[in-house]
Every structure is written in structure tokens, then in C-alpha cells.
Amino acid sequence: MRESGIPLSVCEVERVRRVEAMDEFKRAIDVAEELPFPRMVLHMGGSREAADPRKRDAAFSTLEHLVLHAKHVGVTLCVENTLSEMGQPGYLRAFVDETRLTGLRFNFDIGHAYLSEEVKEERITRAFEPMCELVASMHLHDNHGEKDEHLPPYDGSIDWKSAIPVLKGATDNNLPIVLELKEKTGADAPAMTEQLAAARAAMDRFEKAWA
């Protein structure tokens, strides 16, 4: 976010705002010189970003610079599949193929994939297919197929028994998997220690199924 609260975006059509956003992203990447991190995950625009040739060109201009900037400090940029038109797996893969941004990789978000308009049983497979060769990291969370709830695995309706073999089909077989959960708040919410214990139990179950 900017100080004004307007989100930073790689798809800024207005050049001044695009350069401003790019500079902010570069400053975040430069943190790796003091606190090393191997991957930085970005979204292709906002949650409701409609496909637009101007935004696509803007994204190419931004990411072309950022990929090179990140490479100098050992960081790989990963664009994540989201619910917007520009964040759809097929769109992202076509973007990389057509722009030939060979240094750009993907972060596969299984919760977002499960919210696609495909038949429920096919959502994850169809979302993963165009991305699998370039997936460099994954975000793990669950939902009931209607909204982005960010629940621990097995607390929603994702069929993990079927999903895990799909995820294991990634070309890179040494992927980092990030558990991306949403904190439960309110008077009736469990204590944070309980939420963390539930997350740990879910991850233990996932790891056992993966093995």
C-alpha cells in the first residue's frame, strides 16, 4: 500500500504511478541484501483486475525490470494465481510465454484455485496444469468453494487426497510450501495458542499424506 492506502500494482497504466510502484517493490527486494529470502510473491494487479492490453503491457514493463533487479540479490519473483481475470492460471502462463520473461516463476495458491468456475472436482487440476512447469512455491489453505476463507487444510471442502498427487506433479520437486491462514477474531474466536495448535495438527496431517 501507498501512504494514501492505494495498493501498489505491477499493472499501473499511468507511468508515474507505475515507476513509483516499481521503486517500492525494488526497496522490498533490496531487503534481501540484509535479510536473505529466496522468493518474492506478487499478484498481477488487484483482486478484481479485468484483463486489459494496456495493463498487460504495464505489467511486462514492470516485471521485466523487477526480475533483473531481483536476480542480483538472489531473489526469484513468483506471480500468484488469484481470482481476477489477470490472475487466472491460463492468463499467467500465456503472459510468461508471450513476453519471454524466463526469470519469472509462479506461486500456486491452492485455495484460490479451488474458487475457480470449473467443475468442483476438476478445479485444482485445471488450475495447476498450465502453471506446473514454472511453479516455484505454493500457498496452502482451505475453503468451502465459495469464498476465500484461508482455513487450515482439512477444515474446508478441498479433497486433499486427490489434490496432493496433483501438487506433487510440479516440475520442481523441492518446493517450499507456505501455510497461509487467516486469524480468527471476535469474542467467540479460539485463543491464538489454540489456532496455532490446530494449524500444526493440520500441517502434520498434510505432511503425513504427502509422504
**Helix runs in 87-154, H state only:** 89-99, 110-113, 123-128
pLDDT digits (tens, 9 = 90+) for 139-188: 999 999 999 999 999 999 999 999 999 999 998 878 899 999 999 999 89
- The pLDDT value recorded for residue 27 is 95
- The pLDDT value recorded for residue 70 is 97
Q: Domains in the chain, ordered, with CATH?
A: 15-210 (3.20.20.150)
4 pLDDT more than 70: no
> Is 136 strand, coil or helix?
strand
Mean pLDDT of 83-103: 95
b/e map of 78-87 (b: 16 or more CB within 10 Å)?
A: bbbbbbbebb
- The pLDDT value recorded for residue 3 is 64
Q: Quick count: other Cβ atoms within 10 Å of Cβ 91?
A: 16
> Is 47 strand, coil or helix?
coil
Q: What Å distances lie between residue 66 and 40, 113, 130, CA to CA?
A: 11, 26, 23
- The pLDDT value recorded for residue 195 is 94
8 A C-beta contact, residue 88 and residue 81: yes
Nearest to 126 by CA among 117, 136, 135, 134: 117
Mean pLDDT of 98-104: 95
121 pLDDT more than 70: yes
> Per 3-state DSSP, what percentage of the chain is helix, strand, and coil (rounded to 5)?
45, 10, 45
